[in-house]
A and B are shown apart, each in its own frame.
Chain A
């Protein structure tokens, strides 16, 4: 427990100056803890105070923050998350990339809430944390190695086999603009290029082991609140059966049936062979087990293997173990980007490419979506084999697997793919083929078929993202209530509610998937018991709103304007050609002005003085 008597937080921040190679243990500014809670919130506040929004994302002046929340490392269901906060090179906006596993809890047990990296090391290093033992160690011998080999090497050379490792692979080293930071080999802070920032700092990995305690303010209340949370998660269909049995991949058939599954770079919104890459297919043919992150009582993780027929083409050999074909994934978003968006129905190719993305350390969503844009360029005759080195046709699993490796290494055409689809499409003079917002590729939901997602994508602070306002939950799944995906009425309020609540959940250290089975009425008591700060539901939503506005303000100062809150022309003007949502476009214009108004922002999308005062943001 921190010295202030508040629980959940350790109250300590590690400040690591990579230029000077110094490590300082500071008191976390807990005056921010009440207003911003932790994780995404407190880290955003640090970035806001310390980093000029106009800097180059890959310059030493950028800072890279790893932040846990007060519930990370407690027994709160799904309290495993940490957030990586920095200026993202893919977008130029603030990014907040979230990961699970057990790296975050391990950092808490070592005694720290956050790590803040600044500067740039002259030579490759990794950070070793074993309780109060803190060291920057040489990592030349790990540079160039994949995430898997790096993790195995660090477990061995630290002599602490059960340490948790967050690392970058070649993609981060080579500054692929959507490089990821990967922990426990398959959990990733995936989007916006946080791995490239880590690479630009010559930081290969952070290995951590903690044996200390996370203390909470009201232990008895905490146990009771968690017991209720677990009970209710086990009573809700999605968190009790859907996610454990099929993983997030349960969504493949659902989204496809609604005609909202973008296919061939959003040229269609239904994939006729979606069933072949669905959660049902994975479970029937390739699933070895489900798997939980730390403290998770849902366990949506997939431990899977290549099918017998697929082994000849796409063998996966994990580096140290003798089970040759076991891997993890794919999640729904990845199976979509590496699958339907590229017209690929070969689950083995998807598993192979997904494994490569984890090992090479890059975001499968942006990689798959960028390849999809390249495939459209290729099929339209804009580029040919002389540039790409091989045919890039929709449906080609061979191209998918080959290009994953080339992209991470920036070899051949991979160097263009490594820039993301916005820069790729601009280079070949077809900027309209970039499917995303603020430089970041869309995830797996066509905003023409699900109106609220369009508004959520357009206004997301870190570019197109499904985790900032998952209105799919209401518009398709019916949680917490069913609304019409085709309507624009009320979507401004819906997107704002989802944005505020999701942001608040992100600040606690909990996983967003909790919200499929619980509400703020579950989350608030457990947060209150842990921290000792009494918050009502409205105050918790207000925390989310405050963080959202702070991120927005930072982006405005970075040079973003209302003109960036938009969607590609294809989404706004080209109707979906066929399927249940045929004929629809996204009607962003009907929703955005109302969104600004309800946010308390002016027509230029700027938070009013009054709103900022009300939220206590200077």
Chain B
């Protein structure tokens, strides 16, 4: 059992694809509305009626942190979020390459990396979300992977063994 951390809990079933979270996040980053600068993103798959919000899961492995050559990423002691330290990051992009989730970004405007820092524990995206699809919660950061792995496994078996196989 992995240690519990605080992270954004994202519920795709509640998401309507409105992108209020992106607007709120970009406002926190820049003071303006600019979804291209948001650190939470929503992918919209209309024809599947499916909306996929995604943001840093604050995973315990924190490969971004491990990859950083100048120790510019650290754990915020209050929130447990992995945060980029202003003034230390040199914009080398190694963290962007290391992250398996694609949730740390290189920003050309500032020449540094940017990622979700949980807004010091009170995330703007969660406030902006009209459906409660985003909450901040104590989570086991690896838990979703187990469920996801089971689904992938069963889909794989179906494909290999034919419909109805378990």
Chain B minimum-CB-distance residue to A244: B16
12 additional contacts, CB 8 Å, given A109-B36, A219-B27, A293-B18? A74-B33, A109-B34, A184-B46, A215-B32, A216-B32, A219-B31, A289-B16, A290-B16, A291-B17, A318-B47, A321-B48, A323-B47
Given A74-B33, A288-B49, A227 and B127 contact (CB-CB distance below 8 Å): yes
A570–B40 Cα distance when bound, in Å, is 56
Q: Across the A-B interface, give the 5 residue pairs with the lowest CB-CB distance, nearest first.
A: A297-B130, A292-B18, A213-B34, A289-B49, A213-B32
Total interface residues on B, CB under 8 Å, equals 26
| Residues of A close to B82: CB separation below 8 A | none
Whether, in the assembled complex, A549 has its beta carbon less than 8 Å from a beta carbon of chain B, the answer is no
Is A75's CB under 8 angstroms from B18's CB?
no
Chain B residues closer than 8 Å to A295, beta-carbon distance: 18-20, 23
Shortest beta-carbon distance, A553 to chain B, in Å? 35
The reply to whether B19 and A294 form a contact with Cβ atoms under 8 Å apart is yes
Query: Do the beta carbons of B32 and A326 come within 8 Å of each other?
Result: no
Q: In which size bucket is the chain A interface?
A: 35 or more
Residues of A participating in the B interface, judged by any CB pair closer than 8 Å: 73-75, 77, 102, 109, 184-186, 210-216, 219, 223, 226-227, 230, 233-234, 244, 288-299, 303, 318, 320-321, 323, 326, 328
Q: Is B116 an interface residue (CB 8 A)?
A: no
B130 touches A214 (CB 8 A): no
Most B C-beta atoms less than 10 A away, residue of A226, A244, A318: A226
What sequence of 0s and 1s flags, for each residue 1-23 of chain B, a beta carbon within 8 Å of any chain A beta carbon?
A: 00000000000000011111001
**When chains A and B are docked, how far (Å) is the Cα of A214 from the Cα of B16?**
22
- Residue of A with least CB distance to B24: A75
In the complex, chain A residues whose CB is within 8 Å of the CB of B32: 213-216, 219
CA distance A184 to B31 in the complex (A): 28
What are 14 A-B interface contacts by the 8 Å CB criterion? A73-B33, A109-B35, A185-B46, A210-B36, A213-B30, A215-B31, A215-B32, A216-B33, A223-B24, A244-B16, A291-B49, A295-B19, A299-B131, A326-B47
Chain A interface main SS type: loop
Known: A213-B32, A296-B18, A299-B16. A321 touches B47 (CB 8 A): yes
Contacting pair A75 B33 (CB below 8 A): yes
- In the complex, the chain B residue whose C-beta lies closest to that of A209 is B36
Q: Is B155 an interface residue (CB 8 A)?
A: no
Most chain A beta-carbon neighbours within 10 Å: one of B23, B37, B50, B130: B130
Q: Which residues from A are CB-within-8-Å of B131?
A: 299
- A184–B44 Cα distance when bound, in Å, is 11
Chain A min CB distance to B124 (Å): 8
With a cutoff of 8 Å between Cβ atoms, the chain A residues found around residue B46 in the complex are 184-186, 291, 303, 326, 328
Chain B contact residues, CB within 8 Å of chain A: 16-20, 23-24, 26-27, 30-37, 46-50, 127-128, 130-131
Q: With A213-B33, A219-B32, A297-B130 given, is the CB distance from A74 to B23 under 8 Å? A: yes
Q: Say how far A512's CB is from chain B's closest CB, in angstroms.
A: 17
Name A326's closest neighbour in chain B (CB-CB): B47
Instruction: Tell me which residues across on chain B come within 8 A of A234, comparing CB atoms.
Output: 130
Q: How far is the CB of A471 from chain B (nearest CB, A)?
A: 28
Residues of B within 8 A of A223 (CB): 24, 27
A575–B33 alpha-carbon span in the complex (Å): 53
B33, A214: Cβ atoms under 8 Å?
yes
Contact status A214-B49, CB under 8 Å: no
Interface pair A214/B20, CB less than 8 Å apart? no
Q: Whose C-beta in chain B lies nearest to the C-beta of A328?
A: B46
Inter-chain CA distance A227–B124, complex, in Å, is: 11
Tell me whether A326 and B130 are in contact (CB under 8 A): no
Per the bound structure, the CA–CA distance linking A186 and B24 in Å amounts to 26
- Residues of chain B with a CB closer than 8 A to A292's CB: 16-18
Q: Which chain B residue has the least Cβ–Cβ distance from A294?
A: B19
**Structural contact, B49 and A326, CB atoms closer than 8 A:** yes
A230–B127 alpha-carbon span in the complex (Å): 10
Q: Please state if B30 and A297 are interface contacts (CB–CB under 8 Å).
A: no
A295–B23 alpha-carbon span in the complex (Å): 8
Query: Do A75 and B27 touch (CB < 8 A)?
Result: yes
On whether A294 and B18 interact (CB within 8 A), knowing A75-B23, A321-B48, A323-B47, the answer reads: yes
| Bound Cα distance A208, B131 (Å) | 28
| CB closest chain-B residue, reference A185 | B46
- A206 to B134: give the CA distance in the assembly, Å: 33
Task: Return chain B residues, CB-CB under 8 Å to A318.
Answer: 47
CB neighbours (8 Å) of B27 from chain A are: 75, 219, 223
A299 touching B33, Cβ below 8 Å: no
Question: Which residues of B are found within 8 Å of A328, using beta-carbon distances?
Answer: 46
Bound Cα distance from A74 to B128, whole angstroms: 13
**Residue ID in chain B nearest A215 by CB atoms:** B32
Please determine whether A299 and B47 come into contact, CB atoms closer than 8 angstroms.
no
Shortest A333–chain B CB gap in Å is 21
